[in-house]
Structure 1
Amino acid sequence: MRERTGALWNSFRYWWGRRSLQSRLIAAYIFIILGPSLLVSLYSYRAINNTYKRDSIEKNSYLLQMEKLYVLNQIEAMERVAQMASSDKGVESYLVSEDEPSLGELIDFNTTTFVSLSQMQFNNPNIEHLRLFSSNKNVHELWPVIFSEDRVSMEPWFQKALQMEGQHYWSFQKRDPDLMKRYAGEVEAGPAKVSLLKEKSIPAGHHVGMVQVDMQLSKFAPKAFTSVQDNESQMMIADEELNLFTRTDHSFLEENPGLSAAVKERLDVYRKMGGWEMDYEENGNSFLLIQAPLEQINASLVTVVSMKGLMKDISRTRNLIIGANIVFIFLVTVIAYIMNAFILKNLRRLTETMKKVRRGEPYGSIRVNGGGEVGELAHHFSKLLNTINTLVAQAVHKQALSKEAELRTLHNQIDAHFLYNTLENIKMLAEIENQRTISDALTRLGGMMRYNFKWSGEYVKLRDEIRHIENYVEVMNIRFEHTIRLELDIDSAYLEVEVLKMSLQPIVENSVKHAWNADGVELTDRVVRINLTEVGTEILVVVRDNGLGLTPERLLALHEAIYAKEEPGADASGISSGGYKAGGVGLRNVHQRLQLFYGEAYGLEVQSEAGKWTAVYMSLPKVLLTGDNSYD
């Protein structure tokens, strides 16, 4: 994935680099303007969204609080009726009577207490029923107020009210059965209702009956059951058991099956932990859930607000913002294009002039009106062309000199051939006279001369350089009384390694001239050993002799001569006569050639131990001219 991303980025950079300066400037203008514009638009969109949402929450919260106040008034009215009915002395006497009431007592109760109970309901038209359920078998039912408990004793709400032991119990029911038709098989169910139930005990702890005050939910919480079509919000009431009661027509619960469960879940969390989450989404629709608790009856009012219409308004505002941004960017692009065309006119003239020069057309001069960077660039371009013309003239002159040098080299080669032929004739005379030593020496000397004069390039194979050193040592052995032995420890695979021509010969020459002659002391066993090792991506060639070595002071002076910066007139004269006095210049030249052709990471390093040995380490890059492909 990272490689693919890198490839795409490189492709984009290549494509972008080929665009014209004017195109890139316009793109930069658009980017510079588009970034802040998008940020401002996004901020404005969120601010408008939050404002619309906050206004909707405030509006519906206000309506919910108003409905809550209305419900609290209805609760108070029902509690007042229940209290008056429960505390009436006539009701208490009627409920606790153990004897069968006489006709006069029934008439008296009917004309006083029963009328008073009916008047309570009449004075509170929202109350649907006021009922007294008696457990006394001697009490006669007086419809529609006084009934026997046997009619409702098996209802769940009745059993729960008994457990309250005289405290108010509120029960929400989805239907209101007609008790007066219970035994006729024609039970009719009315609309959903809320009931206030209070157990009656006379004396305390002795159950005698139950007071029930009913009110239809459409009157108890009218906004939850309103018939007015509203597609923006829907109010509902939830009882203690999280049952939801609301209108059935144009209900959000039918269109969004998960909404009911979401409301119940959040109500349960609120009652246990106190947290409430307003936002809810289903089927791509957004809703706001706003609730107000009704602590007196362990219920809650919930308003579900649809954001569909609100989102339309927000989308319309967003489209206006986007349209305004597009128009603004278009105008900026047109203005930027016209201004850039005017500003870059001189730059295009300069570019066309450069193309003509590149095609070889003659260049006179270019004049750019005005100053600035483009004018300065045109000025330097003219200066550059003048400099190029001067350099071309110098190059032509150097080429002529080079041709002359080639002719001189050819002439020298002719002279070298004359010397080679002369050496060959002398060699033949030595062989005729049976002077084998002289003949071999002439062969070695001829090989050295051919190697020196045949300078076809700076690089040679290590094999050729070693062969030249062998010839050199054999020639030098004619001069000295004690023979110098040359030992080679080089794997045959490395003989094809690339080295600089004449890079090893100066090192061996230093050993031959200075390693065994110091202050009149001579060593009879003279050995020069050359070995090669591979270190990572480098080749390390070591030339080691068994001479008298160098003292630390002489070794330090030799290092200074090799590694010192080039100074006119400088030489290696600072080294004493007993050490590598003449070798300092030769080693310095080899070190500088190595760094010139291979880089400053390569070169020479000299190590020595006084009275024992001296070694020169030459580091090279591992490069083969021919042969095994296993090397770079």
Structure 2
Amino acid sequence: MKRIKNWFQGLKLNNKFTIICLIFVTIPMIVLAGWMFWNIEDNLINEKLSAMKFKLDMAYAQVIKNVDTINMSTQFFLSDQGLKDFLSAEKRGDNYTTEALLDFYNRDVASLERMVNNNTYLYQIRVYVDSDGMQEMMPILYRRERMQRLSFWREDFSYGWKYGYKDNLFSSYGQLTGEREILSLLTSMEDYGLGEIGVLEVAMYMDTMFPVIYESSETLWGSFADGDGNLHFAQGIDTEFNQKLIRTILKDNQNIKDDMHVYFYKTQGRQLVIGYQPLRELNGILVYVDDIESDLTKIRNQRYVFVLCGILVIVLLAVLVNKVAKGMLKQFYSILRSIRKVQKGDLDLVIENCGSNEMGELGDQINKMLYNIKQLTTDNLNHELLVKNTEIRALQNQINAHFIYNVLESIKMMAEIKEDYDISDAITSLGKLLRYSMKWVPGNVTVEEELEYIRNYLSLINLRFDYEIYLSVNIPQVILKQRIPKMSLQPIVENAIYHGIEQMAEDTNIYMKGIEDKEDCIIEITDAGRGMSEEEVENLYKRISGEVEVSGGAGNGIGLKNVQDRIKINFGEKYGIEIASKLGCYTKIMVRIPMNKEGSI
């Protein structure tokens, strides 16, 4: 908020006036537009909710009508005495003459068939009899073994409603029905003395029972969940998303037993109107879904057009207001331009035509101030001339570092001319050594630069001795790019030579190794020198940690202490050097610094 305030205060007056006007116009416009489009979306949702409630009412009325048709047909068959007598006779094993069978067929079966054909809502009414020798009388009477061809059949099947199966009683039925799914009510037909004498199946097409489901589209569709948790969809609607959505809706509304529930629902970026209708008569639930995302998208597109038009109006208004503000502040900006010229040094400027208003008075006061400034400037200039004449500095006695490099290059060329390449190489190393030592850097250096300095240092050290000191390096590239304080590794190498290797006077190695340790890295410097005892290591620790005061002189640990202090100052107390040594074998100095994956600290 403070930054916005500072930014606003830094604007020109005409821009401030423009912004204030736009705020007073834009905010009411945004509030009004937001309320208007919110109201449009809310009205659309309410209309869809009302339409959904109407659809469910109509669907529920159709289901009740169809259920009543099935129940009445069931009762009609159960109360038909002729059919009941025939089934009882079959159960007892009575034999019928051909004449009696024809009479039963022409009188009773034909009457039942007419009743079925006259009811256009029904698909079939069939009676299955547990008798292998019974003469089947299609399309009413069948032996029970045929029922085993239907998908719901099993030995311990239960009576009641069966949903979503196809008529496989005969192979030709699938072609006749167009593979339409069926639901039916199975009822046991019983005789008081004989027990069960048949199974009655009153069947209806699923799309007749639930036309609202089977007239679905991509945005308006439904499903019926039966008592066993099976979902029934129209063909092409049974997608994975739709199944998951229906099961989520069933779970969310599982406590609703009887009443219709219509509500607005959002999921996975889609906005839906959900209709939930329990069907106690069928022991199931009818769910209907209206995807209104496309309708809401149209409203949003209208909102975007309105916003673009509003932005255009605001831009035009901003230009107009800005021009009016500039006209009102024209005299003020004229005075401001004069002041800026004064800032550039034009003290001879005079503001003319000041006028008699507030701006004119401001111009008059500025003219008076300019006259006083000119007088003070003239006095100060005379004083500065006297001071400048006394400021002569002698820089001739300062030695330029480039002079030394140029002299070394000349000596190197003389050595090469005489083909004394050892001297040439030594001078090259010395030049690099001096350049690195005398070069000023604002921050730390990379491990790679420090390593190059150590190589040049060793090449010069090897000129002093009759034996060779070799440098072995095993440092990953990521550690070579890390930054450390300048001259923080060379004193360790120098310490290894003078206190560990020089007394042995034989060819040896100094081994440098880099190790990544989580968020840190460790640089190990190991020499195969005389080593130290545990007591010497402990004393050295005390000197570099400051527990024991150190003074100038060889072997007192001041070099390592300086390295330790500089690392802790740069990186913190958890970083620094550690020492491991074995008398007569080796000494290892471990430098721990923080790891930076980008290579700079």
TM-score, structure 2 as length reference: 0.53
Q: How does 1:434-453 map to 2 (within 5 A)?
A: none
Q: Deviations over 1:174-204 (max 9, x none)?
A: 312125889xxx9999420111111222228
Change (3 A) 1:15 1:159: same
Change (3 A) 1:18 1:31: same
Measured after TM superposition, the shift of residue 92 of structure 1 is: 1.6
Q: Deviations over 1:105-143 (max 9, x none)?
A: 323322222122112101102211101122356754322
Residue correspondences, number? 375
Q: Are residue 134 (structure 1) and residue 115 (structure 2) matched?
A: no
Q: How does 1:105-504 map to 2 (within 5 A)?
A: 105-135=100-130, 139-152=134-147, 157=152, 163=158, 169-179=160-170, 190-203=179-192, 206-226=195-215, 230-248=217-235, 251-254=236-239, 257-272=240-255, 278-282=264-268, 285-355=270-340, 359-361=346-348, 363=350, 367-368=354-355, 375-376=357-358, 378-379=360-361, 382=364
Give secondary structure in 1 for the equivalent of 2:229.
coil
Residue type at the aligned position of 1:344: L
Distance of 2:266 and 2:43 partners within structure 1: 18
Structure index of larger Rg: 1
Choose from 87, 111, 120 the match for 2:79.
Answer: 87
Change (3 A) 1:163 1:205: farther
Distance of 1:336 and 1:108 partners within structure 2: 103
Give secondary structure in 2 for the equivalent of 1:171.
strand
Distance of 2:227 and 2:30 partners within structure 1: 49
Distance of 1:41 and 1:87 partners within structure 2: 69
Change (3 A) 1:346 1:387: closer
Distance of 2:292 and 2:21 partners within structure 1: 38
Residue type at the aligned position of 1:240: G
Give secondary structure in 1 for the equivalent of 2:254.
helix
Residue type at the aligned position of 2:229: L
Distance of 1:150 and 1:93 partners within structure 2: 21
Distance of 1:293 and 1:40 partners within structure 2: 42
Measured after TM superposition, the shift of residue 213 of structure 1 is: 0.7
Distance of 2:42 and 2:348 partners within structure 1: 68
Give secondary structure in 2 for the equivalent of 1:177.
coil
Distance of 2:275 and 2:11 partners within structure 1: 57
Q: Deviations over 1:392-414 (max 9, x none)?
A: 999999xxxxxxxxxxxxxxxxx
Measured after TM superposition, the shift of residue 361 of structure 1 is: 2.9
Report the equivalent of 2:446. none
Distance of 2:177 and 2:18 partners within structure 1: 80
Change (3 A) 1:268 1:352: closer
Residue type at the aligned position of 1:22: N
Q: Deviations over 1:495-554 (max 9, x none)?
A: xxxxxxxxxxxxxxxxxxxxxxxxxxxxxxxxxxxxxxxxxxxxxxxxxxxxxxxxxxxx
Distance of 2:329 and 2:210 partners within structure 1: 76
Q: Deviations over 1:376-421 (max 9, x none)?
A: 3543664586689799999999xxxxxxxxxxxxxxxxxxxxxxxx
Report the equivalent of 1:507. none
Distance of 2:101 and 2:256 partners within structure 1: 54
Q: Deviations over 1:294-315 (max 9, x none)?
A: 2210233333323353144223
Measured after TM superposition, the shift of residue 81 of structure 1 is: 0.8
Residue type at the aligned position of 2:226: D
Bigger Cα displacement from structure 2, 381-390 vs 329-338? 381-390
Q: Deviations over 1:442-461 (max 9, x none)?
A: xxxxxxxxxxxxxxxxxxxx
Measured after TM superposition, the shift of residue 147 of structure 1 is: 1.7
Q: Are residue 58 (structure 1) and residue 44 (structure 2) matched?
A: no
Residue type at the aligned position of 2:250: L
- The percentage of aligned residue pairs carrying the same residue is 15
Residue type at the aligned position of 2:308: G
Change (3 A) 1:242 1:334: same
Distance of 2:256 and 2:377 partners within structure 1: 92
Residue type at the aligned position of 1:88: D
Distance of 2:166 and 2:120 partners within structure 1: 19
Report the equivalent of 1:459. none
Residues 289 and 303, structure 1, Cα contact 8 Å, conserved in 2: yes
Residues 141 and 147, structure 1, Cα contact 8 Å, conserved in 2: yes
Report the equivalent of 1:456. none
Report the equivalent of 2:21. 29
Residue type at the aligned position of 2:165: K
Residues 225 and 247, structure 1, Cα contact 8 Å, conserved in 2: yes
Give secondary structure in 2 for the equivalent of 1:348.
helix
Residues 177 and 190, structure 1, Cα contact 8 Å, conserved in 2: no
Residues 266 and 276, structure 1, Cα contact 8 Å, conserved in 2: no
Give secondary structure in 1 for the equivalent of 2:204.
strand
Give secondary structure in 2 for the equivalent of 1:74.
helix
Distance of 2:193 and 2:156 partners within structure 1: 16
Change (3 A) 1:389 1:177: same
Give secondary structure in 2 for the equivalent of 1:172.
strand
Change (3 A) 1:155 1:362: closer
Residue type at the aligned position of 1:178: L
TM-score, structure 1 as length reference: 0.51
Q: Deviations over 1:289-347 (max 9, x none)?
A: 33333221023333332335314422331122112212321232122112212221232
Distance of 1:198 and 1:75 partners within structure 2: 14
Distance of 1:206 and 1:110 partners within structure 2: 24
Measured after TM superposition, the shift of residue 153 of structure 1 is: 5.5
Choose from 41, 48, 66 the match for 1:49.
Answer: 41
Change (3 A) 1:273 1:295: closer
Residues 213 and 221, structure 2, Cα contact 8 Å, conserved in 1: yes
Residues 193 and 215, structure 1, Cα contact 8 Å, conserved in 2: yes
Distance of 2:76 and 2:22 partners within structure 1: 79
Distance of 2:155 and 2:263 partners within structure 1: 32
Change (3 A) 1:277 1:216: same
Residues 166 and 181, structure 2, Cα contact 8 Å, conserved in 1: yes
Change (3 A) 1:388 1:364: closer
Residues 351 and 367, structure 2, Cα contact 8 Å, conserved in 1: no
Measured after TM superposition, the shift of residue 352 of structure 1 is: 3.6
Distance of 1:15 and 1:280 partners within structure 2: 41
Give secondary structure in 1 for the equivalent of 2:139.
coil
The answer for unaligned runs of 5 or more in structure 1 is 1-5, 370-374, 398-632
